[in-house]
Amino acid sequence: MKILVAVKRVIDYNVQVRVKEDGTGVVTDNVKMSTNPPDDNAVEEAVKIKESGKAKEIVAVTVGEEKAQETVRKALAVGADRGIHIKVDGIIEPLAVSKILQKIVEKEKPDLVFMGKQAIDDDCNQTGQMLSALLNWPQATFASKIEFKENKLEIVREVDEGLETIEVNVPAVVTCDLRLNEPRYASLPNIMKAKKKPIEQINASDLGVDTKQRIEQIKVEEPPKRKAGIKVANVAELVQKLKNEAKVI
């Protein structure tokens, strides 16, 4: 079995994002970047499956600018075997990413594609579902548990009402929830070894995929700020304020 894991480079989850003054986007210069957090869970799950003997090869893929390679390198350091970097500059929408990944799937013929359930930058939550649609594969989104049942997968999904269990045929696309597993840290020797693992670079334009933006970003602005609140001295004051000032209880 072969697993393709898609990873995305995003502003680190601990960074307080700031909007650019000219309204064209958010500040990314000199800002710490990392792998999208649930993509780490996707890599971890693939590595665990390989360690259990069920998968032979893990290929990590990313779509983005030159530095996006760092996310593939990180995946290689925790256990992916080789990497693919699809180079493209500027904003690329989930639909275009899915079309690129479709080309890679056609070339690599993996049995499973894993990725995070949502990227924490654009918060779109689309790519996995779109890819599975284009491939006419089943989709298992928001997965918090993955089990092999003969030649199928049984997946527990986190949904609004609680948990849902589905069974999907293989090949399938699985989008991973943060609770799927605990991503490991790369050890120094493995980081060194990862430097020797191959990363194939492909220009998006060579794949024959239309990556033109379909959605114009007209402006990006700061959300309205909350006015500063107060500290109350004790519980009695809190309850009085809620009753008499805020009038919410």
Partner 1 sequence: MSVLLIAEHNNKEIRPFTLNAITAASQIDSDLHVIVAGNSCEDVAKAVSSIPLVKKVLHVDAAHYENFLPENFALLIVKISENYSHIISSANTFGKNLMPRVAALLDTSQVSDIIKVISPDTFIRPIYAGNAFATVKSNDSKKCVTVRPTSFEPAATSGGSATVEKIDGAEESNISKFIKREEVKSDRPELGTARIVISGGRGMQSGDNFKLITAIADKLNAAIGASRAAVDAGYITNDHQVGQTGKVVVPDLYIAVGISGAIQHLAGMKESKVIVAINKDGEAPIFSVADYGLEADLFEALPQFLEELNKLNTIQK
Between 79 and 142, whose beta carbon lies closer to partner 1? 142
Between 101 and 194, whose beta carbon lies closer to partner 1? 101
CB burial class (10 A; 0-12, 13-18, 19+) of residue 204? buried
Contact between 186 and 78 under an 8 Å Cβ cutoff? The reply is yes
Between 152 and 197, whose beta carbon lies closer to partner 1? 152
CB of 247 to partner 1, least distance (A): 9
Helix (H) or strand (E) holding 205: none
Residues in the chain: 249
CB of 236 to partner 1, least distance (A): 6
Between 29 and 123, whose beta carbon lies closer to partner 1? 123
CB of 11 to partner 1, least distance (A): 7
CB of 186 to partner 1, least distance (A): 22
Contact between 219 and 79 under an 8 Å Cβ cutoff? The reply is no
Nearest-angstrom CA–CA distance, 138 and 162: 21
Q: What are the backbone angles phi and psi of residue 142, rounded to the nearest 5°?
A: 55, 45
- The HSE-up count of residue 152 (CA atoms within 13 Å, CB side) is 11
